[in-house]
Amino acid sequence: MESLAADLRTMARTPLTEAHVARIREIGQEIDAAPGEFLAELGAPQERFIYVLEGELEAVDPVTGGRYGDGATLGPGQFAGEISFLTGAASMLPIRAVSASRLLVADRAPMLRLMQDVPEISDIVVTVLAARRRRLLEGDQASLTLIGMDRDRDIRMIGAFAARNRIPFRALDLDTDEAGELARACDLAPRHPAVVYGRDRVIENPTPRKVAQLYGLDLTFDDGAIHDVLIVGGGPAGISAAVYAGAEGLSALVVEDATIGGQAGTSSRIENYMGFPTGISGADLCWRGEVQAMKFGTRFAVPRRATALARRPDGTFCVTLDDETETCARALVIATGVQYRRLPLDGLERLEGAGVYYAATETAARFCRDCEVVIIGGGNSAGQAAMFLSRHAKCVHLLVRGDSLAASMSSYLSSRLEADPSIRIRYRTEVAALHGDAHLGAVTLKGAGVAPGEERVETRGLFVMVGAAPNTGWLGGAAACDGKGFLLTGDAVGSDSPYGTSAEGIFAVGDVRAGSVKRVASAVGEGSVVISKVWEHVSRQKEETELAAE
């Protein structure tokens, strides 16, 4: 995906061939567009593939209404859209005809089938569409504007959600002239934190869920529709399962309650994943997998949290989501991973998102610049967070419960931490108290790593990465777990699959599985391997259903 620079002109360098265009003609039709006519509106589902035969199209800045970017347009041989086309999600940029144009248009579903049948078409289209999303992310002309993210915790949470889900946004400080102008245009009170969509649409009581709905990430489900497989959890294991399920022709849906990528998506640099000798961020790795899965037809619903599970007499699984809607499937892959435990500290919940974080994201790091930060944890995630935050903070205090990192962290990573002068590792040390009202201002440390008594550290960022607990409570005992809540699989429950649980048709992969290796590579491997057994189960169930119908 990185072979093309994220530039509209550069995107013309790998055009579709005449043979490719001929195949698109078989499923599409030619239409005319008048100058000024919109071919795609902001927020409308991307349901058409638009190829320019004659004329000229332009992407429209969703805020100013003028031409987006550096003035480049789309001419003959180019096509419109960005990566949301793969799922039919909302258009992030309007598309308008500059001059009288002749276009070849194909509906999304047959175009996706053609892309699967002709990989060369898929390679070109996906590369260009992904490059355009990257361009949007790197620019400052996004359709989503966050005003006051530096002051308001709720706006900051939306910024973190958008960043981790690859939703482009721009952030304006309350004190800037631009924020003031936008506030007047939207009839907002001066210096009022807000979320604005497009030119002047203010999102009332904004939440990540509402932002997801704007961009079509929060899918709705057809009543009575049954997926072949429902994958609960969008970390590396879930994404890998999604790729292979789609590749095997299974209708698959991934439900993720926060952000695609899970905890791995917050890793600033993964250096021990095969094929990336210089490392890759967890977000980029998971993004590539998500695009692959979408190319094969797998859908993603975010943020949607599974809250309950029931099984019909015919063996179909029905999962209730946090908005009381229900979605059903013939098989389940549980890839919900783990979540860091909340520490028993007074004021912790009040300060979450306002100085207390569970992931070292770019959004969180910007509020810790040139100050001291504290990280609790001794695993790889904590180590990677320390390395990442050390580039922004004045000093990083890494608090480790034990006497060493040898048993919990990769050697290459612990060596780098020890050699970094801006990172201070404090063994047998913990946080005793939090200080701050609207925002964290300091923490009190105690233990062997501080002077006799206690030590107060002035900080705007405490990152908690310790005590991971599995996300299995919503299963309601449908599958056997060990004493800590991790799902038992394989020989432990008499399954012929190392990822089969005690319940036929329910599989577990990644960190949520008892005995799993807590590494990204192993999670990806488990997600890929499990699909063969899922396919067998789904095929068998379909056969039984057909026989019963006869």
Mean pLDDT to the nearest integer, 8-14: 49
Half-sphere exposure of 41 (CA within 13 A, CB side): 3
**Cross-strand bridge partners of residue 190:** none
pLDDT at residue 479 greater than cutoff 80: yes
**Amino acid 511: pLDDT:** 94
Is a pLDDT exceeding 90 seen at residue 435?
Answer: yes
Q: What is the mean pLDDT of residues 41-58?
A: 96
Distance CA 101, CA 53 (A): 8
Could you tell me which of 432, 437, 126, 388 has the C-alpha nearest to residue 265?
Answer: 388
- How confident is the prediction for the chain on average, in pLDDT? 91
Model confidence pLDDT, tens digit, residues 194-251: 999 999 899 999 999 999 999 999 887 777 789 999 999 999 999 999 999 999 999 9
Per-residue pLDDT tens over the stretch 121-172:
999 999 999 999 999 998 878 999 999 988 888 998 899 899 889 999 999 9
pLDDT in tens, 327-381: 999 999 999 999 888 899 999 999 998 999 998 888 888 888 899 999 999 998 8
Question: What tens digit of pLDDT does each residue of 502-518 get?
Answer: 999 999 999 999 999 88
Give me the percent of the chain exceeding a pLDDT of 90.
73
Closest CA to 374 of 393, 401, 351, 347: 393
Average of pLDDT values for 171-180? 91
- Check pLDDT > 50 for residue 491: yes
Confidence of residue 13 (pLDDT cuts 50, 70, 90): low
Phi and psi at 300, nearest 5°, equal -125, 135
- Residues ≥6 apart with Cβ < 8 Å to 532: none
3-state secondary structure of 460: strand
Q: Convert 32-60 to b/e letters by CB count within 10 Å (16 or more is b).
A: ebeeeeebbebbebbebbbbbeebbbbbb
259 token code pair: 């952000």
Q: What architecture (CATH level 2) is domain 348-466?
A: 3-Layer(bba) Sandwich (3.50)
> For the sheet containing 28-33, what is the strand order?
28-33, 101-107, 48-54
Architecture of domain 226-339+472-549: 3-Layer(bba) Sandwich (3.50)
Q: Alpha helix locations (H) across 145-231?
A: 153-164, 177-185, 208-214
pLDDT at 262: 85
Q: Which tens digits make up the pLDDT trace of 251-310?
A: 999 999 988 988 888 787 888 889 989 889 888 999 999 999 999 999 999 999 999 999
The boundaries of every CATH 3.50.50.60 domain in the chain are 226-339+472-549, 348-466
- Superfamily, domain 10-138: Jelly Rolls (2.60.120.10)
**What is the C-alpha to C-alpha distance for residues 62 and 81, in angstroms, rounded to an integer?**
14
On the question of pLDDT at 451 being above 90, the answer is no
What pLDDT score does 153 carry?
87
210 backbone dihedrals φ, ψ, rounded to 5°: -65, -35
CATH placement of domain 144-214: 3.40.30
- Identify the H or E element spanning 521: helix 520-549
Question: Which segments within 212-295 are labelled E, that is strand?
Answer: 226-232, 252-255
The residue with greater pLDDT, 326 or 548, is: 326
pLDDT over 90 (residue 92): yes
pLDDT of res. 321: 94
Stretch 11-28: mean pLDDT, rounded? Answer: 86
Instruction: Return residue ranges of the chain for CATH 3.40.30.
Output: 144-214
**Which residues in the chain are classed under CATH 2.60.120.10?**
10-138
Q: List pLDDT tens digits, range 299-313.
A: 999 999 999 999 999
Statement: residue 2 has pLDDT above 80 = no
Q: Report how far residue 406's alpha carbon sits from residue 394's, in angstroms, rounded to the nearest whole number.
A: 26
